[in-house]
Amino acid sequence: MMQETTHFGFKDVATTEKQSMVRSVFDSVASKYDLMNDVLSFGAHRLWKHYTISASNVQAGDKVLDIAGGTGDLARAFAMKVGDTGQVILSDINAAMLSEGRKNLINKGTSGVEFVQLSGEHIPFVDDSFDCVSIAFGLRNVTDKDQCIREMHRVLKPGGCMLILEFSKTDIALLEKFYDFYSFNIMPQLGKIIANDEESYQYLAESIRKHPDQETLKKMVLDAGFGLCEYHNLSGGIVALHKGIKK
């Protein structure tokens, strides 16, 4: 019987092994994750996340789940929107990233956020629990993306909003050439210099290229049962925000 395989960057690996391999990447980069995001994106990741929050329709009193929430940027912003009457859960499969998120939120004086270690493929909450579920720069690291999207759909309330912020595909030829050069030549070297980890940032560059393009991801969202899905390209399509509404 042949073993099922999936991709880990440009490599084919056993499906059962990917999760632990991704975990080791984020164990390695957790302490420098925010610094590297600022350096690698020239600070643009903060603008992308701000746009995501503004597109969310989250209001005071809402209940929000942030999957693969890492160091807590979205969770902190959501906490400010939902206020004392709402609830925000910051989740991540990786304990080291979750620890960084907890530390960041405490240092910034954000209270009321709950922390849960979980896999996006198996969300331990009942159906129709949340007004909004988000995942930013995490879906491409999930082994079974379709299963993750189905789980996000399941735990959303009818009329609830799903947000997927992720690297995507630009159709601007000159930008694509620059981005390819930057991703495979500059990004791993910056990872080596700043985070002492060239290999993890080589994987991250490769994982971006293996992620579905905008239209493919939109179809995946609709196939998972969402009644509506629209996407907005940011920075020329280098990043895209997909927004799905549960029927």
Q: Binding site for S-adenosyl-L-methionine, residues?
A: 71, 92
- Nearest 10 degrees: Cα torsion 78, 241, 217, 225: 50
Residue with tokens 């791993």: 188
Please give the C-alpha separations between residue 200 and each of 9, 162, 169, 213, in angstroms, as whole numbers. Answer: 10, 28, 21, 22
**Annotation: binding site:** 71, 92
**Tokens at 133, concatenated:** 């579920």
Q: How do beta strands 63-67 and 11-14 pair? A: unpaired
What are the strands of the beta sheet with 113-117, ordered from one edge? 113-117, 87-92, 63-67, 130-136, 156-167, 239-246, 226-234
**Tokens at 184, concatenated:** 């495979």
**3-class secondary structure, 223:** helix
